[in-house]
Structure 1
Amino acid sequence: MKLFLLPLVISFVFCSCDQKSKIEKAIEEAPVEIKVERFDKQFFETSPNDLAKLKKQYPYFFNPQINDSVWLNKMNAPIWREVYTEVQKKYPTADGIQKNVEELVQHLKYYFPKTKTPKVITLISDMDCSNKAIYADSLVIISLELYLGKDHKFYTFPKYLKQNFEERQMMPDVVSSFSTGKIAPPVEKNLLSKMIYFGKQLYLKDILLPEYSDAEKMGYTPEQIVWCQENESYIWRYFIEKEMLFSDEQKLTSRFIDPAPFSKFYLEIDNDSPGQIGSWMGWQIVRSYMENNDVKIDELLKMDAKEIFEKSKYKPKK
C-alpha cells in the first residue's frame, strides 16, 4: 500500500513546487522600478543656509511647530554626526535596499493589484524601535540607524529587541507596517482574536517574502523557532486547559502577544520560551486554514478569527 501511494505523493510534491514556481516566475516578470531617496545623506550634508529648501522638498519630515534651531542642532550634534558616519559605513549605497524593495513590491502587486509603486526614503530618525519601517500608501520610510547590526555599539536596547536590528529585518518590518492597512484590528478582545490577527500578518510574510526563513518573519532566532516547534503541542494544550482562547483577560496580551524577552506561562519553561508565542501559534492556525480551504488572500484578511479557527482543522505537531 505504501509503495502504491509513493508515486502519488511524489507527484503531488512536484505539482505543488511547479505551481509555486509558476507564481514566482509571473511575479519576477512583472516590471517594477523603485527609487530610493537618501534623506539621511541630504539632511546631514545640507548647508544650514539650505535648510528651507530641504523642508520644502520633504515637508512630512519637518513639524512646522518645531523651530529650525532644533534641526540645525541635530545636523551638527557630535552624537548624531557619529550615527550618520556609522550609517554611511553600513549603507554606502542603497542598491541592496532598492533590490529588496523591488522584489517585495513585485509580490505586493501580484497579490494586491491595486498597490501603488511606492517611493522609498531612508532617514536617520530618533532610535524609535517601534517605527523602524513605515509603509504609508505610496511611501516607504526606513530608519537606517536601527539596522546597523544587533551588536552595534549604539544599541542599549534589550536583547530581544536588538536581535532584529539587522539589515535582513527591513523587509519583514515593511510588511508588518503594510499589513496594518490591510488587516482590520480584531473586534473581539479575546486572546484567539489577537492570535489570529498577528497570524494573518505573519501569513502575509509567507507569501510576500517567500525566501525569508520563519525566524526572520517572526523576528526570532533560529533556536527560538526550533523551541516553538518542539513545544507546539504543549503550548496548545496549556492554552486549552487554562481556557485562554476566548478569555478577554487583558494580561494575556502582555503574556503571549506583546514583544517581550519571554512568554509568561508562570512555569519553568518561561526562561526558554520566546516572547509573542501567541502570535506564533496564531500563525500556525492561519497556515492550517489556508492549507485546508480555497480562499484568496484578501478574503482571508477580512475573515473573523473564530471562523478561521473552526475551519482551520488545526492540530499541533507532536
Structure 2
Amino acid sequence: MKKLFFLCVLIVVGCADENSLEKEISAIPIDVNITRFDQVFLSATPSDLPKLKEVYPLFFPSSIPDSTWVYTMRDPLQKELKQEIDITFADFSTVQRDIKSLLQHLEFYFPEYNPPKIVTVTTEDYRKKIILYQDMILIALNTYLGANHRYYEGIQNYIVQNFEKEMIPVDIATEFAYAQIRPSRDRSFLSKMIFHGKAHYIKTLLVPKASAAMQFGYTERQVNWAAENEAQIWTHFIEKELLYSTDNKLDARFLNLAPFSKFYLELDSESPGGIGRYIGYRIVDAYMKNNDVSLQELIGKSTEEIFNNSKYKPKK
C-alpha cells in the first residue's frame, strides 16, 4: 500500500511540475505576424504583378517569366483553390494560436533561435508542406485542406491522413527538429533509429499538446499497435541482428515513411510505416528519463552513449 501511495505522489508531483512549466512557457511574450501571401497572390490580377514583385521579390525569381505568373493568375483553378482555402481556414485564429504556442516553446528550448517570419503560400508539390528558409517559415495551406479533400485523390492514405490543419505546428516542429541534428557517421540501423528518435523527442517538447499519433503521423490505431507490439518489434530487431547492420535496405523497410513496415511477416499489413523511428524515440526517451542531460547535450550525444545508458527494455 505504501509503494502504491508513493507512486501516486510521484505522478501527481510530475503532473504539477509539467503544468507549471507549460504555464511558464505560455507566458513568454511572442508576437505572431503571419503574412497571408496565399491570399494576396490568389486574389491578384495581372495588373497587380509589378507591385507584387516589388513587395515580395523572393516569390518571383527572375528565372520565371512574367507570362507564367499572368497565366497562373488567369487560371480558374486558382480562384477555386482560394475558395477551398477560405473554407478550411475561415477561422485562422486557431492556427495562429497553435503557431504562437510552438514559437513560445522554441523560444524556451532554443533561445538562440530568432523568432521567424511566418508566411502562408501554396505549392504544387504536396511533399513540401513546410519550408524553413533563412528567417522564415513557409506554410503551404493547400496541403492542409483535410484528408478527405478531393484535391488529394490518388495520393496514398498514409500521406493524406496528415493533411489536416491541426498538423501545421507538428510539421513545423518536424522540420525544425531535423535541422538541429547532424546525421552520425555511424551508418548502422541503430544509429539511424536514434537519429530519428532525437528529432521526435524534440517534437514532443515543442508541441506537447499534440497526440502521440500526430507526433508520428500515425492514426490512433497505428500508434496503439506500435505501443502494444513494442517488445515484439525490439525482439525481432535483435534476433535478426539488425541493430548494427549497415544494410541500406533497412531504411525502406523500417525508417522511411510508408504504408506499413516490412517484417516479411503476416503482421506487416497491421504495422505502421517507419516503425524504426518509433523505437528510436522510445530509446531516446528512456535515455533522457534515466540521465541528467540537457536537450542541447542530447543533440550532440553519440549513438553508443545514448543506447548504452538508456536502459531501454520494452515491457512484454
Q: What interval of TM-score do these two structures reach, taking the shorter chain for normalisation?
A: over 0.9
Unaligned stretches of 5+ residues in structure 1: none
Unaligned stretches of 5+ residues in structure 2: none
User: Is 1:201 equivalent to 2:191 in the alignment?
Assistant: no
Amino acid paired to 1:154: Y
Q: Distance in 2 between matches of 1:33 and 1:217?
A: 25
Shift of 1:137: 4.6
Q: Distance in 1 between matches of 2:18 and 2:92?
A: 30
Report what 1:230 is aligned to.
Answer: 228
Give per-residue Cα distances to partners, 1:87-139, cap 9 Å, x unaligned. Answer: 1111135322211111001111111111211111111111x232101233521
Shift of 1:56: 2.3
Give per-residue Cα distances to partners, 1:34-87, cap 9 Å, x unaligned. Answer: 011110110011231221221222222222101111112112212232222211
Q: After TM superposition, list the pairs within 5 Å mapping 1:104-253 onto structure 2.
A: 104-126=102-124, 128-155=125-152, 156-253=154-251
Q: Distance in 1 between matches of 2:64 and 2:248?
A: 37
Match of 1:289 among 284, 287, 290: 287
SS at match of 1:122: strand
SS at match of 1:180: helix
SS at match of 1:245: coil
Return 163-172 or 69-78, whichever deviates more: 69-78
CA RMSD of the aligned region, Å?
Answer: 1.3
Match of 2:278 among 280, 290, 309: 280
Amino acid paired to 2:140: S
Return 257-266 or 92-101, whichever deviates more: 92-101
Give per-residue Cα distances to partners, 1:293-318, cap 9 Å, x unaligned. Answer: 11111111111122111111001122
Shift of 1:195: 0.7
Q: Distance in 1 between matches of 2:178 and 2:237?
A: 26
Report what 1:44 is aligned to.
Answer: 42
Q: Distance in 2 between matches of 1:254 and 1:42?
A: 40
Amino acid paired to 1:290: M
Report what 1:86 is aligned to.
Answer: 84
Q: Distance in 2 between matches of 1:294 and 1:82?
A: 53
Q: Distance in 1 between matches of 2:266 and 2:5?
A: 46
Amino acid paired to 2:161: Q
Amino acid paired to 1:140: I
Task: Check whether the contact 2:177–2:203 (CA below 8 A) recurs between aligned residues.
Answer: no
SS at match of 1:21: helix
Task: Check whether the contact 1:28–1:103 (CA below 8 A) recurs between aligned residues.
Answer: yes
Return 171-180 or 11-20, whichever deviates more: 11-20
Amino acid paired to 2:250: L
- Using the size of structure 1 for normalisation, the TM-score is 0.96
Match of 1:77 among 53, 71, 75: 75
Report what 1:32 is aligned to.
Answer: 30
Amino acid paired to 1:96: T
Give per-residue Cα distances to partners, 1:186-215, cap 9 Å, x unaligned. Answer: 322211111111111111121111111100
User: Is 1:97 equivalent to 2:132 in the alignment?
Assistant: no
Amino acid paired to 1:145: N
Task: Check whether the contact 2:117–2:136 (CA below 8 A) recurs between aligned residues.
Answer: yes
Equivalences, count = 315
Report what 2:298 is aligned to.
Answer: 300
SS at match of 2:267: helix
Return 160-169 or 136-145, whichever deviates more: 136-145
Task: Check whether the contact 2:43–2:79 (CA below 8 A) recurs between aligned residues.
Answer: no
Amino acid paired to 1:79: L
